Each structure stands twice: as C-alpha cells, then as structure tokens.
Structure 1
Amino acid sequence: MVMLKRAVLFFVVLLALGSTYGLVQNWNNSYTGDNSTYLPVPVNTSVNFSISLNQSQNVTWFLNTTYESHDSNVNSSSFIYNFTGAGTYKVDANSTYLNVSENVPWLVDVYQPLNIVSYFNNVTDSNSTTFNLSWGKSVYFNVNRSGTVVNEFWVVNGTLAYNGSTFIFSPEKYGWYNITYILNGKNSSKTLSWGVEVYLKVTDALNNTLIFYTPPTRIVTLAPSVTEDLFAVGMGKSLVGADPYSDYPPEISTMNITRVGGLTYGIKTEVIVNLTPDLVIAAKINPIMKINKLRSLNITVLATKSDNISEIMSNILTIGKIGNKLALARNVTRNMTQRIDKVERFSSSLSSIRKPSVFFVVWYPSLWTGGKGTYVNNLINMAGGVNVAGGLDGWKIINKEVLISKNPDIIICSGGMGATVCSNISKDSVLSNLKAVKDNKMYVVPDPNIVNRPGPRIVDGLDFFYNIIKQNLIPTPPENTIFTGKFQDKSEIREKLSKILTYKPVFEVENSMAVAPLLLSNRFPVIPGVVKKKATRLEIKDVYRYAATVALSHYFFAKEVIIARGDLDVDSYAAISLAKKKGIPILLTGSQQLPQVTLNAIKDLKLKKIIIVGGNNAVGNEVSEELSKYAETERIGGATRVETSIDIAKKMKPDNVIITDYNSSTEAAVLSSLYKVPVVYVSQNKLNLVIDFLKAYKPKVLFVDVSPSVKKRIEDEI
C-alpha cells in the first residue's frame, strides 16, 4: 500500500513539472547572452554557462562527458570555462530531483579567427593587385591565411573558377579580368581582388610584333584569302574595307564594305585611313612599301604569308586569336586537318605504279601550268597524283613536245575559262592524241579559287583532286615476278610481259636512242608482237634534247647522272637498270664532244657525281675532262660493250640478270627498266667473261635474243 502511494505521488509530480525541461526553468550563456545552445567561439574566450531551476535541485556539469563540478540543492547553477584550443566542445548541465533527471547541452565550436597573412602572384613576384599578362601564359596566385576556414574560392569576372587557397589562371581570351579570392570562416569573411589586363602579342610574317588589348572591331583586308580567313573564324561583321576581288562568302556582296583598291600598287592608302581601321590584314602579294606606308600612319597591319597549307591554318588561328575567336578557329583548322589526313591516308597507301599523272592547265594555247611551289602541285601530290609539271618552278608555260612526252593520264582545266581550255586542247591537232584526251579524262575545276586561293577552302580543292584521282587510279598490274627459274627464255614470259604493258603508256619511237630516256620517264616503247594496244606516235627530232628534258622534268633533284654515248644505244640500254636503281637520269653525249644541251642540263641539275658509261672509244677523254669541271666523275667501261655491261652488273650485285645478244635489244631494255635488272651482252668470243661473271654472282638468268649455241654453252657451264 505504501509503494502504491509513492508511485501515484511521483506521477503527480511529473504531471506538475511537464514533459519537457520540467526541472529546468531557463538556461543562458554569457557569449551570446541568450539561451542559444550552439556557440561558435574564437579561441581564448571564457564563457559562463548557467541554468535556473523550478525548485532546489542537484546540478552536475560535464565537459565532453568528463565531470567538471557539482552543486547540491540549488535553484540555479553556473559553469565558467576558458576555451584555449580550437575544436568542438560539448558542455552538459545535468539536474536531478526525486530520481528524475534533465540535461541541458551546449555545443561549442571553437575556431581560430581568420587572418590573411600574405599573398602573391608569380608574374610580378609581389602582392601587386593590378598587372599585365601576355595571352598564352598563366599566372599563379597564392594566399597564405590563418584561422579556421569554412570555404575559400576564386571568382573570375563573376563566375566561380576554383576552390582553394591557390589558383592558376590561364585565360582563354585576352582582355580585362577581375579576379577575386573569397575566404569564409565561422562567422567572418575576407576578400582579395586583382585586376589583370591580358594582352595578345603576335609576330607577323614580316617579323613585326603587334600588341592587342581589345579585339579589333573595324578591319580592312587586302587579299581575298585573308578575307575568307576572317569570315571563317566568325569575324566577318568587323570587315569595313576589302580589296575588289574579295567575293567569298556570298554574303559579302550584301555588306556595306568599302573597296580599297587592287592587290598590289593599286591599294588606296587614303581610303584605308579614312575608314579608321583598328586592324589591316595583308597578304604576301601586297607590296611591302604599301604595308610600311600604312604603319607609318599608325595603322596596325598584320602581314601574313601562306606558302603551304600549314601556313594557311596558322593564319586562321592567328586571326582567330586576334578576334578572341580561337575556339572557332580551332574548329576550322581541326576540320581541315581531318580532311587532309583522310586524303593523305589514301595517297600514302598507293604504290607509285598506281598513281596517275596529272596535267593542270589554266590557259590555251599557251599552256600555263603550276610546278614546284604552287598550291596546285602540292594538292596533286597530296591527293595521290603525279604532277607532270612537278619539275618546273612556279607557274610556267609547258611546251607541247614536253607535254606529249609526259602523256598525262588526267587533264584538269581551271581558270575563268576552264571548260573552254579543255575544249581547245581536245580539238588541238597535236594534243588531241594525248592519253587523257583519248580516254576522256578531262575535268574542269568548278571554282578556280578552291585551288588557287590560299584560304580555308583550299581543302575543297584537295577534295576535288582526291575524288578525280581516286576514280582514275592506274590498275594494279599482274604479278610482275618473271624470274621463276634458274634459266628462262623470253618466249616463256612474253605473255606476262604483254599483260603488264597493257597497263603502261606505250609510244612509237623511230630512234632507238630515245628508248633509254623514254623508259626513265616511265613510258615504254613498242615491242613488236608484245604490245597489242594502239600506241601513240612520239616524234623526237633531237635525242640529246629529249634526254635533257626528261632529266630536268623527272629528276631535277638528282645528285648524280649517267652519261652515255648518243649515237649507239647499247651503253644507254646497259645503264638503264643502274639509273632505275639509283633514281637518276641518263644524259647523252657525242664520243668526242659534249652537246651544249647536255652541258646546260648538267649545270641546271647541280650534280655531285657524273657516271660515264663506256670505254674511251665510246666517251672520249676530252668529254670526260669537260665533265670533271662540273662534278666528280666515275667511269664504268671496258674494252667492249660486253665488259662494260658486266662492270655495270657487278655494281648492282644482282640476284637476276638479262643475257642478250651482242646487238641491242629493245625488249631487253624494257625488261631491265621494269625489274631494275642489269643487261649483260654476250658474244661468242667474250662468252668466257660472261660465264665467269655468272659463276661468281649466281643470278637467275633470262635469255633475250640469244643464239641456241650460246644459250646451251652457258647452261652447261653453270
């Protein structure tokens, strides 16, 4: 009964006190001055924690669950603590009455106060807050701070850029930048700000340095190519003046643009000055005196050059940088690079025998064509073709005789009257016999500017050549290994040779002395009974001049040349394999006198070595002495053509050899050219020399026009 009374009394007490903080009437702290239970407090701060009670009670104070103090039968209690170290503390006041307890907790977050100790950047190496920075470079910021950090970050022109106390700023564009460092603590913040002026420094094609602080908004272009560059990178709206030939993109015709005169001396300086441009973009074609005149008038001029596609893309990137359009410029050049790579992967996969020869022409009857150093030549080569004018420098007129000897697989007509040029060539009594004309492989460039204008559309020109060349590849010839046995006769390989020559350009030539240079131009003479297709007749009146023409057009960069007599074909035939292996031409000479046309070719070729084929009777000492004035000379020659041919063959250390009759054989010369196999002449009285050579080198042998008795003797001996 007593226990029941006590339980009822306890229950009544609880109802009277309430369910929440029934024992504690109030609580407070001296730091915030109120009943807050979360206190962010700087270090070395003393705080008085206190509670007031509904009636006398016992109060125990704890710090981080550790007992600190106790008050008995009190109506209020307090606890003072000095927080000397940063960290999180928990203070508890625990009151008890009649076995009922109630706890008041405080959470104290003690922090170190924020302080920016120092700061610097690596550009000025100091705490400077305003400075200049060259575009393309980076600046490193560092803030040394103390205190308890909640967060810290960097803002560039109002946009969050990075978190942390350090920041590397690499501006994508040039111009003015406000850079702010924001440091937040528990109950305070600090900021630092820098003003950075990023400028663009450009070195142009004339080695002049240009400085830009803001992108130009009034631009004049002096050539169509740079006008196209400007529009390609999205800066066309800034164009206020241009040359009269800038006609692309088409929207240019609808713009209010002042024409500032021709590409060269027609440039109107006064008109340009009146346009008040902040940038003039010039091209290589513009006279330097005009550029210097504009600069003397304090006009900023960017001089460009575009001798190759790499320089074209460099111009696009430079103009993109100047206009703060680098991302767009990179997209343009990336697209160009991808298209170029596709074409070059195709062309690099082609063997030389599959590459068609191309003649590019812009006028008729003067056959103007592009050689080395022109975009046309570069585009043809990149697309997998062979420019028949590749031996010429720059833009030249090629004569009909040379063009006939080249006999191109493809003719491409350009210029403002490309279709008319192609039509006139097809109707020309001489040129109508060209292979390209007969095979109807004549094409017209739809817009000459895609191959002649060094701007972003140059890749359209490359694609144009690529598509034509791709559909006109030389078919892969049949298997060309004919040396399948120790001994073979020409009769065994004639059918295979006939198939191979089906894929080759074949000509009728009357003078056998023209055969060697013809073969070195990758053209072939008719072989009766072997060549079954119709051949083009080639009129060669001067074999010395023809050999010189082939040398200069096909082997302009050769450092060696072979000299053989021009009145007897045996030595030049014997030298074909050596010339093919070395990639050098054969020039012809008289026995006792060097023709002027041959001498001129030797001077033009800038040779290091001249190989004389034949003994003193074939090429006399006077000729040899004359040749020694222009390069080192070496003579390969014996008493007769047999010894000379053997000496040439020894130079090549052959695995295969062609043995032919003492008299010359066109068929042997053709086989020698096709397979780079030496020709060795044989006669009854020199047979032992040939047998000794064959025993020493052990090559496979192909007999061409050799008598049965000589053939049997060789087979028996070997």
Structure 2
Amino acid sequence: MPSARRLPAALLLAALTLSACGGTQNSGQDQETSGQDAGFPVTVEDPSGEVTIESAPKRIVSLSPTATEMLFAVGAGDEVVAADEHSDHPEEAPTTDLSGFTPSIEAISEYDPDLVVLARDAEDAAKQLRKVDVPVLLIPAATTLGDAYDQMRMLGEATGNPDQGAEVADQVKSDVDAIVEETADEVGDADLSVYHELDEAMYSATSDTFIGQVYDRFGLENIADSAEDASGGYPQVSAEYVVDRNPDLIFLAYGGKNVVESVRERPAFDGVAAVENDGVVKLDADASSRWGPRVVDLAESVSDAVTAAAAQEG
C-alpha cells in the first residue's frame, strides 16, 4: 500500500498521464473535424441564388429521387439520413414517407438536418427552412445532359466531395458520349423517328425536355415536336397523330409487363413502323424520368433500340 507521502505524487502522475492522453485524443478529434470541414464554407448556386454551407453536412435530407441517386454517387450517401417516399435507388437509400411534392417542415425537422435537398417547385418549403438557418438546395429538372452533369458537380461541392462529384460527372458524360458515338458508327445515316409515351393518356415529350435531348443525341426525329401545345414540352397527342407520323421507334416510360403488347394492339397501330418492326420498347420508368447517373443505362437502352431499328430499315 503506498505511503501518504507518495500518494499525491502518484495521483499527480496519473492526472498528468490522463491529461496527456486526453489532449492527444482531443487533438486527433480536432484534426478529424478539421479534415472533414476542409474547404468549407462552400458557396454554390441553385435557382434561388447563392447558397452558403458553413460546414460539411452530416445529416442530409433528400426529397428528390434524382438528388438521392446523385448524393450516393458523389460519396455523400452515408450522410443521407432520410429520403422521400420515391427515392428507391440505390437500395441502401433511407426511404421514408416524407413527401417531395408537399414537403412538411415539421416532418423534415424531426431528422435534425444540416442540409435539405428539394425539387425546384418546393420553394415555399425552402424559404421556411432557411428562416431557421437550415441550408437548402433546390434541384430543378434538368433539360439537358449538361444540366445533369452540373448538378452532380454542385452536389459534390456542397457535401465536401468536389473531386468525386467532378469524377462522376465526367465519367457519366464520357460513357454517354461513347455510347452515342458507337451507335452512330454502327447505324450510319439511318434516318429514324421516335415517339416517347409518358402514360396511357398519350402525353409525350419534345426535344426541349431532358429525355428529348437524349433522343436528339442519337439523331432521332421527335414526332412530338410538331404536336399542338408542344411549347410546354409535354404535349398530349392522339392515336391518329402517332399513326399519321408513323414513328420508327416508340419508347414507353410506364406500365407493367404487358404494356408493349397493349400499345401494339391499338387500333391502326399495326401499320406503324415501330409496331411492324418490333420497335416498341419499354424503358425503365425511373431511369427514363430521372437525370442522375443512371442516364448511362438509359443511353444504352436507346442505343440498343436504335441499332435494331436501323438494321430493320437497312
């Protein structure tokens, strides 16, 4: 048993040792925190103007399926604590019953977010969240492939992953460009037309939309461009209109396993080139309506259809 004279010295030594250890641990934590926040504050720009994010987000709420896919792709997936009801990709996305169409400030706040990503039409929710000092980014629907690449880079910067955001954008662009070039080499001067159907009500999409821009990259003539009310980008056409324009390809962005057969069986459609030559193609509904990294998968699907249609034409 230590003597009374030696006890204080022993306690002092222990205290100094613990203090030194504690100092080392805190220093490591400070370095880690400093490393995580390196490069912050960051200022990015969304449709509402400049948005400054003071420190690296640790709790992100994403109420846009496309944004969710982008966040995971650029390396911020671990920080996404909640995603909206339609954010079903990737599988590890923390899908909840949060609505991206009618965002609830109270429901969002329960996740204690330090960054919220919303769709472009949720500006009112964005204003309310910003009033309580929660950084918000608005992600508009891309109308060009360039828009999509820019959003990937922007989300990379906003989450402290600028290099990975740039790498993902560059890789997606490179992959899409390669698919387009390879397809052009294979089909040559094939002159093909396309009809994109969004739903059974026969709403379509013109070349002014994102999906229309993808078709344009493959040199496809979009029959929706000459439809009435085409200026809105999503005109509703009739069966007679489609039959009259006689598209070589029909892409369907909805429906179950029998949707292709249902379209083929429409009155007078048996004389449409796309029906005659097996050019009615069901796309992945999500990949064709989102402008995230899976646009590469979309480009591959379009490429396969274009190549097959060109072979039939030849």
- TM-score tier, shorter chain, comes to 0.7 to 0.9
Structure 2 residue aligned with 1:332: 168
Structure 1 residue aligned with 2:65: 224
User: Residue type matched to 1:230 in 2?
Assistant: L
Structure 1 residue aligned with 2:306: 469
Mapped partners of 2:51, 2:146: distance in 1: 21
Structure 1 residue aligned with 2:78: 237
Contact 1:240 1:275 in 2 (8 A): yes
Identity level (%): 22
- For residue 323 of structure 1, report the CA deviation from its aligned partner: 2.2
CA displacement, residues 391-442 of structure 1 (integer Å, 9 cap, x when unaligned):
333122211222122111122222133x433212211222222122122222
CA displacement, residues 579-613 of structure 1 (integer Å, 9 cap, x when unaligned):
xxxxxxxxxxxxxxxxxxxxxxxxxxxxxxxxxxx
- For residue 216 of structure 1, report the CA deviation from its aligned partner: 0.5
- For residue 259 of structure 1, report the CA deviation from its aligned partner: 3.5
Structure number with larger C-alpha Rg = 1
Structure 1 residue aligned with 2:243: 404
Mapped partners of 1:267, 1:406: distance in 2: 41
Counterparts in 2 of 1:263 and 1:460: CA distance versus 1, 3 Å? same
Contact 1:241 1:259 in 2 (8 A): no
Structure 1 residue aligned with 2:275: 437
1:345 aligns with 2:200: no
CA displacement, residues 647-677 of structure 1 (integer Å, 9 cap, x when unaligned):
xxxxxxxxxxxxxxxxxxxxxxxxxxxxxxx
Counterparts in 2 of 1:363 and 1:202: CA distance versus 1, 3 Å? closer
User: What SS does structure 2 have at the residue aligned with 1:450?
Assistant: coil
Structure 2 residue aligned with 1:656: none
Question: Which of 124, 131, 142 pairs up with 1:296?
Answer: 131
CA RMSD between the two structures: 2.6
Gaps of 5+ in 1: 1-156, 159-172, 177-196, 477-502, 504-718
User: What SS does structure 2 have at the residue aligned with 1:249?
Assistant: coil
Contact 1:320 1:329 in 2 (8 A): yes
Contact 1:280 1:299 in 2 (8 A): yes
- For residue 283 of structure 1, report the CA deviation from its aligned partner: 2.1
Contact 2:65 2:86 in 1 (8 A): yes
Structure 1 residue aligned with 2:26: none
Contact 2:254 2:282 in 1 (8 A): no
Structure 1 residue aligned with 2:144: 308
- For residue 232 of structure 1, report the CA deviation from its aligned partner: 0.5
Contact 1:343 1:382 in 2 (8 A): no
Contact 2:186 2:307 in 1 (8 A): no
Mapped partners of 2:264, 2:37: distance in 1: 60
Contact 1:350 1:384 in 2 (8 A): no
Question: Which of 127, 133, 156 pairs up with 1:320?
Answer: 156
Structure 2 residue aligned with 1:376: 211
Q: How many residues align?
A: 277
Contact 1:356 1:474 in 2 (8 A): no
1:270 aligns with 2:111: no
User: Residue type matched to 1:308 in 2?
Assistant: T
CA displacement, residues 165-217 of structure 1 (integer Å, 9 cap, x when unaligned):
xxxxxxxx8845xxxxxxxxxxxxxxxxxxxx8532222221133132x2100
- For residue 268 of structure 1, report the CA deviation from its aligned partner: 1.1
User: Residue type matched to 2:288 in 1?
Assistant: V
Counterparts in 2 of 1:389 and 1:352: CA distance versus 1, 3 Å? farther
TM-score normalised according to structure 2 size = 0.79
Counterparts in 2 of 1:448 and 1:396: CA distance versus 1, 3 Å? same
1:251 aligns with 2:98: no
Report which structure shows greater RCO (CA 8 Å, sep ≥6): 2
Structure 1 residue aligned with 2:19: none
Contact 2:180 2:218 in 1 (8 A): yes
- For residue 458 of structure 1, report the CA deviation from its aligned partner: 1.6
Contact 2:41 2:52 in 1 (8 A): no
Mapped partners of 2:134, 2:44: distance in 1: 15
User: Residue type matched to 1:396 in 2?
Assistant: P
Where in structure 2 are the equivalents of 1:477-556 lying within 5 Å? none
Counterparts in 2 of 1:210 and 1:307: CA distance versus 1, 3 Å? farther
Contact 2:53 2:158 in 1 (8 A): no
User: Residue type matched to 1:473 in 2?
Assistant: A
Contact 2:274 2:280 in 1 (8 A): yes
Larger strand percent? 1
Structure 2 residue aligned with 1:367: 202
Mapped partners of 1:208, 1:277: distance in 2: 19
Structure 2 residue aligned with 1:203: 45
Mapped partners of 1:202, 1:293: distance in 2: 19
- For residue 301 of structure 1, report the CA deviation from its aligned partner: 0.4
User: What SS does structure 2 have at the residue aligned with 1:432?
Assistant: helix
Counterparts in 2 of 1:371 and 1:290: CA distance versus 1, 3 Å? same
Counterparts in 2 of 1:174 and 1:317: CA distance versus 1, 3 Å? farther
Contact 1:233 1:319 in 2 (8 A): yes
Contact 2:47 2:138 in 1 (8 A): yes
Mapped partners of 1:345, 1:315: distance in 2: 24
Mapped partners of 1:248, 1:351: distance in 2: 33
Structure 2 residue aligned with 1:354: 190
Mapped partners of 1:198, 1:436: distance in 2: 53
CA displacement, residues 194-245 of structure 1 (integer Å, 9 cap, x when unaligned):
xxx8532222221133132x21000011110101111111211111122111
Counterparts in 2 of 1:474 and 1:358: CA distance versus 1, 3 Å? farther
Mapped partners of 1:300, 1:209: distance in 2: 7
User: Residue type matched to 1:441 in 2?
Assistant: G
User: What SS does structure 1 have at the residue aligned with 2:258?
Assistant: helix
User: What SS does structure 1 have at the residue aligned with 2:278?
Assistant: coil
Mapped partners of 1:444, 1:274: distance in 2: 39
Structure 2 residue aligned with 1:557: none
Contact 1:450 1:458 in 2 (8 A): yes
CA displacement, residues 534-573 of structure 1 (integer Å, 9 cap, x when unaligned):
xxxxxxxxxxxxxxxxxxxxxxxxxxxxxxxxxxxxxxxx
Contact 1:217 1:278 in 2 (8 A): yes
- For residue 300 of structure 1, report the CA deviation from its aligned partner: 0.8
User: What SS does structure 2 have at the residue aligned with 1:389?
Assistant: helix
Counterparts in 2 of 1:429 and 1:401: CA distance versus 1, 3 Å? closer
Mapped partners of 2:107, 2:273: distance in 1: 52
Mapped partners of 1:460, 1:232: distance in 2: 15
User: Residue type matched to 1:293 in 2?
Assistant: Q
TM-score normalised according to structure 1 size = 0.36
Contact 1:353 1:474 in 2 (8 A): no
Question: Which of 230, 249, 252 pairs up with 1:413?
Answer: 252
CA displacement, residues 126-174 of structure 1 (integer Å, 9 cap, x when unaligned):
xxxxxxxxxxxxxxxxxxxxxxxxxxxxxxx99xxxxxxxxxxxxxx88
Counterparts in 2 of 1:215 and 1:314: CA distance versus 1, 3 Å? same
Mapped partners of 2:199, 2:158: distance in 1: 39
